Structure 1
Amino acid sequence: MAYVTDLICYPVKGCAGTSTSDAHLTLAGLAHDRSFMVISEDGVYRTQRHHPRLALIRPAVSADGTRLTLDSADGTTRYGTVCLDVTTSAPRRDVELFGAAFQGIDQGDTVAAWLSEVLGTPSRLVRVPPEHDRVTQGLTPGRAGYADSGAVHLLSRASLTLLNRRMSERGAPPLPMNRFRPNIVVDGPGGHRPDSDGGDWATVPHAEDRARHVIIGGAQLGYAKLAARCAVTLVEQEAGARRGPEPLRTLAEYRRAASGGVVFGAKFSVIRPGKLSVGDEVVIQEWGDTEC
């Protein structure tokens, strides 16, 4: 069978992820995923594209979402740790995400000062309001918090293995999975591709591109779109710094989407919430054609 090997939640958009063995999948993705966002003083979202040091910020959120802790993995202790009681009742403020207008709940001056020091630029932290109802587009529309373009990013180890092999052919070192910041990582062996040559689908690179309806644990996912890749993939997550042209240079050779840009992995909307666990079987109920 194909199975889940990793579940990763990113409580604060752009910051480090937290691996977990079990997670509840809500209509907006893994519980607490991208429910917080770092913004400039005028409300524009911050991203690793321009602020790679975001990768060094390690969030931890309580199970009920009422307590958030941030620390820095920069190799020093000069920033310390900041802990805050999450507020959902403070006044809303306008925020901007990819040019679209949303609302956020400002989490106060203490965490704002901490973030500003770590990032070296004035910054604030906002939370998704309870009334947030953002609709994401794609083959299966869905809901999301502050995620880029869909609730769940799913990626297979087979896809990364192929990329690393192609990069090695041009003398580039392999990259870890965290360069691509997936929520669900899938591995084989198991299942069979719905085509004449058979084979284990989870060991076939980019098979996730063709998965249209997926059952994992108690949840059901619907394919939305391919995951477009940007300069965030150039950031070494452990260092919080941009490193050279890979993987975008290699992906441009064989992963150009028909609509333009390069793609790697797939975005899914949540059709039915439920519990997910590492080791869960990944069942593909329906397949489609690849867009790449």
Structure 2
Amino acid sequence: MARIARLTYYPVKGCAGTSVPATEVTPAGLAHDRVFQVVAPDGDFRSQRRYPVLASVRPRVLGEQLALSAPGQEDLVVDIRRDGPRHPGSTFSWEGEGIHQGAEAAEWFSDLLKTPSVLIHVAPDHERVTSGETPGTAAFADGHALLVASESSLDGLNARILERGGEPVPMDRFRPNVVISGWTEPHTEDEVRAMTAGTAEFGYAKQCVRCTVPMVDQETGAKAGPEPIRTLATYRRHPDGGVTFGMKAAVLRPGQVSAGDEVIVHSWAGPSPSTAAAEPPLTATASRPAESV
């Protein structure tokens, strides 16, 4: 039986996450997920790809305040501005505006990143349509509302890394929102097309093509490559380029989810196209678990 093993939201895009025992699922994903974003004066987004130190920032949403802490920085608590002066923002697939969170927050991130930066919050009139097999919406996530990964996928990857003489990596390298336990076959999440957990329902959007962020130590904010990308490249290459780990999903029905909730899959697809060429076909029984898992 598959269950939710962990739920994590990331208040500030690119910064550390907060794991919770239960949370609301909004149309844009888990409550508070990537509702803040650090951007350049022109709105270009800051990410761990260029600024890995962002991983060391520990943001906390405290009601109507945001608390920020990072090694070498004085802690900062600011009131969340949900409306007011606008500032440009962007992701890989979206450009628009967010709510400027004030000079204190801008100065704090500018000091941390050693370059002029601004913190913005999702605007009340934020509109965004995400791509993929199931369309949806998102706040400031790169492309989609949720990233779903399974413990078996990480176990399979780490077994391969160990075989190559490397050190296993923790799940936080992939920054998932929903971690699922109970599936024995790695990358089962790639085959899910619709599933429910708690009172929420999710639809498959696409496989997650990974950038360099999984090579950043999420505790220290330091680059720690070449794993896991080096090993993923040996068996998880996507036909369109890059390597994949995890599934991006849209929210079909908002609701409540908790760690321990049963994951019920309502529809499945065939084997992952990124693994079909590299691994022998699975039997129908092995590749398609029961409808309720």
TM-score (norm 2): 0.91
Indicate the residue corresponding to 1:287 in structure 2: 268
SS at match of 1:221: strand
Q: Give the Cα separation in 2 of the matches to 1:120 and 1:91.
A: 24
Q: Say which of 74, 82, 91 aligns to 1:97.
A: 91
State the partner residue of 1:71. 69
Q: Please state whether the residue corresponding to 2:47 is helix, strand or coil.
A: coil
Deviations 1:46-66 (A, max 9, x none): 000000000010111135xx2
2:202/2:252 contact within 8 Å kept: yes
- What secondary structure does 1:13 align onto? coil
Q: Partner of 1:88 in structure 2?
A: 82
RMSD: 1.1
Q: Which residue of 1 aligns with 2:256?
A: 275
SS of the aligned residue for 1:113 comes to helix
Equivalent runs, 1:164-175 vs 2, <5 Å: 164-175=158-169
How far apart are the structure 2 equivalents of 1:134 and 1:115? 26
Counterparts of 2:93 and 2:208, CA distance in 1: 19
What amino acid sits opposite 1:276 in the alignment?
V
1:72-129 per-residue CA deviation (whole Å, 9 max, x = no partner) reads 1x3xxx4221111111221212223226421111101001111111222221100110
Residue 213 of structure 2 corresponds to which residue in structure 1?
232
Q: Which residue identity lines up with residue 291 of structure 1 in the other structure? A: P
The equivalences for 1:1-292 within 5 A come to: 1-63=1-63, 66-72=64-70, 74=71, 78-98=72-92, 100-188=94-182, 202-289=183-270, 290-292=272-274
Change (3 A) 1:166 1:278: same
Whole-angstrom distance in 2 between the partners of 1:149 and 1:122: 25
Following superposition, the deviation at residue 281 of structure 1 comes to: 0.3
CA contact (8 A) 2:91 2:141 kept: no
Specify the SS of the correspondent of 1:118. Answer: helix
The residue matched to 1:173 in structure 2 has which SS?
Answer: coil
Q: Which moved more, 1:253-262 or 1:133-142?
A: 253-262
Q: Could you list the per-position Cα deviations for residues 241-280 of structure 1 after superposition, in whole angstroms to 9, with x for gaps in the alignment?
A: 1112111111111001122211001000000001010000
Q: Distance in 1 between matches of 2:202 and 2:41?
A: 36
> The residue matched to 2:137 in structure 1 has which SS?
strand
Counterpart residue type for residue 271 of structure 1: L
Letter in 2 for 1:67: Q
CA distance, structure 2, for counterparts of residue 211 and residue 43 of structure 1: 35
Report the number of matched residues.
273
CA 1:99–1:287 in structure 2 vs 1: closer, same or farther (change >3 Å)?
closer
Which amino acid is the alignment partner of residue 18 of structure 1?
T
CA distance in structure 1 between the aligned counterparts of 2:257 and 2:94, rounded to whole angstroms: 31
1:119 and 1:46 map into 2 onto residues whose CA distance is: 9
Query: Aligned equivalents of 2:168 and 2:94: distance in 1?
Result: 35
* 1-structure distance, mates of 2:171, 2:213: 13
Q: Which structure 2 residue ranges, 5 or more long, are not aligned? A: 275-293
